[in-house]
Chains A and B, each alone.
Chain A
Amino acid sequence: MTARDAAVRIKGVSHQFGAAGDTQYVRALADTSLDIARGELLCLIGPSGCGKSTLLNVIGGLMTPSSGSVEVAAKPVRGPMPHDIAFVFQEHALFPWNTVIENVRLGMLFQGVPKSEHAARAKKSLEAVGLTEFANHYPSQLSGGMRQRAALARALSLETDILLMDEPFAALDEQTRMILGEDLSVLLARTEKTIVFVTHSLGEAVFLADRVAVFSARPGTIKKIMRVDEPHPRRPDFVTSEKFTALRNELYALLHDEIRKTVSESARSED
């Protein structure tokens, strides 16, 4: 991949929390490099605490890595880049005192979209996620799945090339997750965005991703990259195909040892 095709270039990123010798010292991420192509959907998967969310925050400029650098659209990332990157967080992060449409408009206000465009863009993004009827509801009046749709609408209205999603469906039940995953695949096939998607779920990773980056246990780094050659939008029956099962099993084998390592380590540190 050349520098020009890459939407995101991650170069030798390491990150630790706290100073060496501190009780809270944690090496979260070790020397990670990766290029993410334009229009690609990349899933990051790995055991808890392997630094996948840290990497996502570094890409988005919400965290400065201890060493290494990230380039987005051939520019070095030094802070949030609201015109290039939009986030969807695990805890939806909707402002509870604003209605759905107010949340969407507020994102555009922050990003600096001219007021005259707000209405049209908000309408478009709410239609895209199927929440038009709920525009004037408060987040507390929506189900978990609808809240994540609203958060997605807010991110879409920013019209960025890159979308970073940090375990967006983690708090939802299995069935809602499945439907949201299918809808997301359809939606994203249309928009040609570059997406980085952090998840814990093997099935979700295989179903959504063009490539899955598997992380090792802490300090995390990319252990293997798995390719999923299946056109977008993915059809619901992809889940039941043999290809899906094979990929999922491969991913399971890759992850299993790392997860064991993490679990036994945390059991030891609790003693």
Chain B
Amino acid sequence: MADRDERAAGWGSRAVQVGFLLVVLALWYLATNRWGVNRLLLPNPVAVWHQLLDVLRTGEFWPDLRVTLIELVVAFALSMTLGTAVGYFVSRTRYAIRVFDPLFAGIYSIPIILFLPLYVLFFGLGPASKIALGATISFFPIVLSTIAGLGNVDRTLVTAARSMGASEYQMFRYVLLPAALPVILSGLRIGFTVALLSIIGSEVIASLAGLGHHIVQLGEGMDMARMFAYIAFVVVIAAVLNSTVSFLEKRGRRRI
């Protein structure tokens, strides 16, 4: 009985969610087709759909997608390597944690996107400045979670392993690493997400190529339907990338 109620409630909330989506689409359609909202402000959803299909068919997104992905991969590889390495060395002593952890946390609380103009000045408008910014921003969640993961391992487990004669390497391989891995993996996932966001963001603000840059270009050309289509495309790409990383994180947690 309770089970049935719960299932009914589950369907109910699903219906509300689908309804919400339909209402938004309907309002959008009515606004452009009936109520005469300016097409330069809000394009027709049907036109956006056609444009989206066109974007996908012509494959014109490839060069921009390639630029963004290369920036992302290089930036994330940098921050992952540096973040976990620095985090590992800091976490080796309690004292180093007390010195460096608040320092990293403090810098992370500043909106690092502020440094974008400096990076543009230093590295130019090309991919280098995006890579540098993405690597900087994603370094912090990775280093902080590595310190948190390795620094907060249950002391009884460490003591137990020591009492059984575990060597330094065994301690790391069989105790510290498996205990810290879930925290480090979620730090890597967050790092990936913020790297992606900051790279698209810096492409929007100041760049010559990439997905973010293309959106701005379409906007400046007042090609609204195509711009909306392109935004939808980028949102889907971001969602696919983020879900892939979440999936890998879950896989990684299970394979300790």
Contact = CB atoms under 8 A, between A and B. Distances in A.
A touching B, CB within 8 angstroms: yes
Size bracket of the A interface = 20 to 34
A107 to B, nearest CB: 5
A83 B157 contact: no
Interface string A70-84: 000000000010110
B159 A83 contact: no
A86 B162 CA distance: 11
B178 A93 contact: no
B256 interface: yes
Nearest to A102: B174
A85 B162 CA distance: 12
Interface string A88-108: 011101010110000000110
A109 interface: yes
B164 interface: yes
Interface residues of B, number: 18
A4 to B, nearest CB: 26
Interface string B171-212: 000110011000000000000000000000000000000000
A95 B163 contact: no
A107 B159 CA distance: 12
B163 A60 contact: yes
B157 A95 contact: yes
Given A95-B174, A109-B170, A89 B164 contact: no
A31 B174 CA distance: 38
Given A95-B175, A97-B178, A109-B170, A86 B156 contact: no
B165 A93 contact: no
Given A95-B174, A95-B175, A107 B164 contact: yes
B175 A89 contact: no
Interface of B: 154, 156-157, 159-167, 170, 174-175, 178-179, 256
9 contacts: A60-B163, A62-B159, A62-B162, A87-B163, A95-B157, A95-B174, A97-B256, A98-B178, A107-B164
Given A86-B163, A86-B164, A89-B159, 13 more contacts: A61-B163, A62-B162, A80-B162, A82-B165, A87-B164, A93-B156, A93-B160, A95-B175, A97-B178, A97-B179, A97-B256, A98-B178, A107-B164
